[in-house]
Structure 1
Amino acid sequence: MAGKSGARLGARMLCLGAVMLCIVQVASAALPNCSYPAVYAFGDSLTDTGNSIAAFPEKFANAELDPNGILFPTHAADRYTDGKLLVDFLAFGLRRRPIYPVLRGTAGDFTFGTNFAAYGAPARTVKVWYKDDAFSVPFSLDVQQQWYERYKIRLWFYESPVYNPAGRLVQSLPKLATVNESMFLVWSGYQDYFFSLYDKKLTVSQTRKIVPEVVDAIETLIEQLLTPVYYTPPGFPTFLMPTATEILVVNLPPLGCIPAMLTLYGGPKAKYNSHGCLSELNKITSAHNKLLGERVIALRAKYPKAKIYYGDAHGVYTDILKDTKKYNVTEPLSACCGVGGSYNFNTGVTCGHAGLVDGKFVNLTMSLPATPCANPSGHLSWDGIHTSNTFNKAAVTDFLLGKHITPAGGLGCSPDFFFWNSST
């Protein structure tokens, strides 16, 4: 009996030891904090925090008018959404603050990075541009890349003891050397497709044919971010500028599920999928996302030292459509800030404007804290064109937790969700 009791005790101690060993192993395998010196962003109105309104204040005046920003920062802040953009959630999750647009003339804090994205900016190079074109600007990805290169040169000048002796010129800027430790976001292509269709400049079939051009432009930007650039400061030897080493490339949400597209292209002859989205328009984003994903894989092979992540925004959007209750989404295909029709969208009076719809005066410029719809958090689209705070939060939450992102495991670090629902 004593021998059996001793054996049992030994077995229990062995099991306890194994459990303790597992606990120690789990503790030692804890992920490090997601923390980057800065965040840099490129893209269009899904990412811009004020570049286009800085360049064309009259054209984009409603970006800083109510009801934009009802959730964050509780007043309009140059963002076309009700709260945080995807880039805002990304910055918060990486233990940074929201980043300012590079063209910001006053009160800009660039300590934690810079935003080069611009409303109306296509991925493809703008060759001909007319000032009166709605929703468009000449700040395509190639221009944004030029801003970025010039930005690095200015970092060098501010750090130079010759051109800035004793640091007399004070700016809130990250160090040039931290560029290759920072996170870069590239989310582009939406402008190329959406507004070609919205303005009826291209047919659906014609829009599908520009997919290779759009993806080529995005790939070109990524390669430029990864390629070292030589710089020769006046009176100094030539040196290599730091390059990006971690880039998050995000694909596009399904075009056929956007309220404006459903309003313009829906009808009895249109084909819909099981979620009520337009099948033909979804083929455009599916083709884009497939080709973009293939290019990202090729770039990983070409630049093995870099970390190139592929964020599947389309997958997040589809997940929500499949299980709206899980995400507390009540109006997945309807705009929050809009008016009329099955999708609460009308091209005559869009969010931030007032006018007549069917002979009745409609005001979509309401003052805060009034809300443009009963439950803003229940919508995936804010204004029928741009993604809502709800979608942006869901997408970045997934990316940071390793879901809908490749390589498997995503960033491989522990994010910070403290500011997820903050209004400041």
Structure 2
Amino acid sequence: MRKSPMATMARTLLVAFVALLLLVAGPCEARPPPQRTAKLAAKEKAMVDGITAIYNFGDSLSDTGNLLREGATGMLKYTTGPPYGSAIGETTGRCSDGYLMIDFLAKDLGLPLLNPYLDNGADFTHGVNFAVAGATALDATALARRGVAVPHTNSSLAVQLQQFKDFMNANTASPQEIREKLARSLVMVGEVGGNDYNYAFSANKPVAGGARNLYNFGRMATGVVEAMALVPDVVRSVTSTARELLDMGATRLVIPGNFPLGCVPSYMSAVNETDPNAYDANGCLSALNLFAQMHNVLLQQGIRELRRSYPSATIAYADYFYAYVQMLKDAGKTGFNEEALTKACCGAGGGSYNFDMDRMCGAPGTSVCTRPDERISWDGVHLTQRAYRVMSDLLYHKGFASPSPVEFPRS
């Protein structure tokens, strides 16, 4: 199919812009692990690398039940009922058939699963999860000024940070005690920011059945421009939050990058690109992946600045992008169905993606594949429990989070 001049120009501009960013960004440099006091040495021997708690901020990739307690609306209301949670026998508010990366990390550290902050009366001895499905890096007011509506929750990153401060102040005697507690903790700042872009793209999604006409191309181009304009502010929100946490005493932070959006069924279905040249060797949309890399490049620049300001802290970049790509490349060896790598297990519509935005997983008319463990995508947006396990292994055991935030005992 011959591409229109406008489509060619838009793709060329996007590629050129992101390529420029990639040129100015160098690799993330390693930093030494934080120093721990001799006073804690004996106690820490029984722990994995001295970590006694995890504090997590983010969105649906790591929400363990906050949106469920807020009251999910819109398409996310289906995530709070079956078949979500089917792999673990109960619905918990996790956007998957089972556990998430944050769950597997907690298990690997020998800690209990993180309870959601809004679970009144829960045990928060070993950490708190502030992540909320649908959350954004920027607050709703800032996004509204850009013409972007936030449909699901007002629990932006700033709201979650304030909840963290309130929790710490209510459960510790002094700032020094907070510093001591954080020195024994792992703090996860995201992944967050993906929804800021999702909402910008969604506000300008094609209409009239996705027909490939001038009007729909204009809408898609507007969505790309608006999302690109958000990137510096989104990254600044993440790094500013990290800076506040470091100032409070955090010594080990993990800051994840964005997934390769061009490999995600919901995005691939929305674009519905028919030109084979638009796809890379992994079957993903190249232009969307370049957009995700634009976010990741700027984020890594911000992380390098944080490392210069806090040289005694370990600030790890969790490379969700290349861990996901590696999972795709290793799919055959790890038991995933190579014929369905970009196809949702739970959804409607069939075809290459089995994704319909108007009939999300759990809605009437949707169904679940017979072997979720062989799929990477659970609902077209989120991953299966099995994929999250693979991602967690790649990140925290195989070097895709760098420098390593945790030194696990060698087996």
- Decide: shared fold, TM above 0.5: yes
The Cα shift of 1:37 comes to: 1.1
The aligned counterpart of 2:184 is 181
The aligned counterpart of 1:10 is none
Within 2, Cα distance between the matches of 1:406 and 1:57? 35
Percent of aligned pairs with the same amino acid: 30
The aligned counterpart of 2:387 is 391
For the 8 Å contact 1:402–1:411, the answer to whether it is kept is no
34 and 379 in structure 1: CA distance in 2 versus 1, 3 angstrom threshold: farther
Amino acid corresponding to residue 401 of structure 1 in structure 2: H
Amino acid corresponding to residue 59 of structure 2 in structure 1: D
The Cα shift of 1:32 comes to: 7.9
Within 1, Cα distance between the matches of 2:143 and 2:237? 18
The aligned counterpart of 1:23 is none
The Cα shift of 1:402 comes to: 4.1
The aligned counterpart of 1:120 is 134
Matches within 5 A, 1:249-288: 249-269=255-275, 271-288=278-295
For the 8 Å contact 1:204–1:281, the answer to whether it is kept is no
Amino acid corresponding to residue 343 of structure 2 in structure 1: S
What is the CA deviation profile of residues 251-304 of structure 1, one whole-angstrom value per residue up to 9, with x for unaligned ones?
111001110111110232582112221111111111111111121122111101
Matches within 5 A, 1:73-222: 74-105=89-120, 108-127=122-141, 135-156=151-172, 177-186=180-189, 187-200=191-204, 203-222=223-242
For the 8 Å contact 1:35–1:94, the answer to whether it is kept is no
The aligned counterpart of 1:413 is 408
SS of residue matched to 1:185: strand
The aligned counterpart of 1:351 is 361
1:335 to 338, 341, 344: 344
For the 8 Å contact 2:59–2:132, the answer to whether it is kept is yes
Structure having the higher helix fraction is 2
TM-score for the superposition, normalised by structure 1:
0.74
SS of residue matched to 1:308: strand
For the 8 Å contact 2:373–2:385, the answer to whether it is kept is yes
213 and 114 in structure 1: CA distance in 2 versus 1, 3 angstrom threshold: same
CA RMSD of aligned residues (A): 2.7
The Cα shift of 1:363 comes to: 4.2
Within 1, Cα distance between the matches of 2:72 and 2:231? 31
For the 8 Å contact 2:72–2:152, the answer to whether it is kept is no
The Cα shift of 1:326 comes to: 1.7
The Cα shift of 1:128 comes to: 6.3
Amino acid corresponding to residue 346 of structure 2 in structure 1: C
The Cα shift of 1:415 comes to: 7.9
Within 2, Cα distance between the matches of 1:305 and 1:35? 16
**How many correspondences in the alignment?**
340
Within 2, Cα distance between the matches of 1:55 and 1:410? 31
Within 1, Cα distance between the matches of 2:195 and 2:170? 29
Amino acid corresponding to residue 95 of structure 1 in structure 2: G
- In terms of Rg, which structure is larger? 1
Amino acid corresponding to residue 411 of structure 1 in structure 2: V
Within 2, Cα distance between the matches of 1:298 and 1:176? 22
Within 2, Cα distance between the matches of 1:181 and 1:112? 10
The Cα shift of 1:179 comes to: 2.6
1:41 to 56, 61, 66: 56
Q: Between 201-210 and 82-91, report the one with greater CA deviation.
A: 201-210
The Cα shift of 1:142 comes to: 0.9
The Cα shift of 1:391 comes to: 2.4
2:245 to 225, 231, 242: 225
Within 2, Cα distance between the matches of 1:336 and 1:134? 27
- Structure 2 unaligned blocks of 5 or more: 1-44, 206-221
For the 8 Å contact 1:119–1:135, the answer to whether it is kept is no
TM-score for the superposition, normalised by structure 2:
0.76
SS of residue matched to 1:39: strand
Within 2, Cα distance between the matches of 1:138 and 1:410? 30
Within 1, Cα distance between the matches of 2:142 and 2:329? 41
Within 1, Cα distance between the matches of 2:301 and 2:46? 29
338 and 117 in structure 1: CA distance in 2 versus 1, 3 angstrom threshold: same
What is the CA deviation profile of residues 190-241 of structure 1, one whole-angstrom value per residue up to 9, with x for unaligned ones?
111223223427512331232111111100110010113xxxxxxxxxxxxx
The aligned counterpart of 1:165 is none
Amino acid corresponding to residue 214 of structure 1 in structure 2: V
